[in-house]
A and B are shown apart, each in its own frame.
Chain A
Amino acid sequence: AQSVTQPDIHITVSEGASLELRCNYSYGATPYLFWYVQSPGQGLQLLLKYFSGDTLVQGIKGFEAEFKRSQSSFNLRKPSVHWSDAAEYFCAVEGNFNKFYFGSGTKLNVKP
Chain B
Amino acid sequence: GAVVSQHPSWVICKSGTSVKIECRSLDFQATTMFWYRQFPKQSLMLMATSNEGSKATYEQGVEKDKFLINHASLTLSTLTVTSAHPEDSSFYICSAITDSYEQYFGPGTRLTVT
**Residues of A bordering B, CB below 8 Å:** 36, 41-44, 46, 90, 94, 97-105
Contact = CB atoms under 8 A, between A and B. Distances in A.
Interface of B: 32, 34, 36, 42-46, 49, 91, 93, 95, 97, 101, 103, 105-108, 110
Contacts of B36: 100
Contacts of B106: 43
A42 B6 CA distance: 12
A102 B108 CA distance: 16
B43 A90 contact: yes
Contact of A44 (B32, B97, B105): B105
Contacts of A97: 49
Contacts of B91: 41
A104 B43 contact: yes
